[in-house]
A = this chain, B = another copy of it.
């Protein structure tokens, strides 16, 4: 939706919360603005902790403050924005004390997802795993190029979201989308948030193999171990061999596309 987000890959616009009932309805203005705001946060245009001035953003989107404020309340409910009375909106900053809870919540959702996938009949399971392997390939390719830390992060999160998407459960997908954007916020909040573990590829390969074996329990434990390591790294408890990738936070300021 903004230029930093869609960089050509066909399957971009990864995790985006969609309405629970997915009928054929023209999206409301509030929907469109909410998507725009989420993309701005996910893409780093709105940095964690920064304040969101209503008049400014509204004029950039070509709408008035009313619809913008309504959309903002959606993100407040998601925990992506915080609204202090009188002081307006800020992008939430995921502090170190929140990382543990965040990944526990992700484990709750994604663990349920992999258990559910593993319990499918083999044919459907293979179909979902095949598309997950595409995402894994994208991650591998991003790791090979190895210059753009955010691209690696995108591919990682896309893979995790894809697992939840395979369940077809709109509620789980909505939760996962929120948590994954918060993961991105956490990565943007910490200086070393984009440091990438070298074994990230192995872990996900293991995960998919266990899934195709139908061993949901093992896959869930792999996920738990992966998250535990990630949390430890973010909290600086461990100091293992890293593969640091420079991640330039493009300093572009606000730039929304006006809504049609």
Contact = CB atoms under 8 A, between A and B. Distances in A.
Interface of A: 17, 19-21, 25-30, 66, 69-71, 73-74, 76-79, 82-85, 92, 101-102, 104-105, 107-109, 111-113, 116, 167, 169-172, 174-175, 179
Given A17-B77, A66-B69, A101-B172, 14 more contacts: A21-B92, A26-B85, A27-B85, A30-B73, A30-B76, A70-B73, A79-B174, A105-B169, A108-B108, A108-B109, A108-B112, A111-B112, A171-B179, A175-B175
B21 A82 contact: yes
- A83, A85, A109, A171 — most chain B CB neighbours (10 Å): A171
The number of times this chain is found in the oligomer is: 2
A104 B112 CA distance: 8
Nearest to A104: B169
Contacts of A74: 73-74, 76-77
Nearest to A93: B21
A180 to B, nearest CB: 12
Contacts of A26: 85
A3 to B, nearest CB: 27
A169 B101 CA distance: 6
A175 B105 contact: yes
B171 A79 contact: yes
Contacts of A28: 83, 85
A30 B70 contact: no
Contacts of A175: 105, 175
A167 B108 CA distance: 12
9 contacts: A19-B76, A20-B92, A25-B85, A28-B85, A71-B73, A77-B77, A108-B108, A108-B172, A171-B179
B79 A30 contact: no
Contacts of A108: 108-109, 111-113, 172
A174 to B, nearest CB: 7
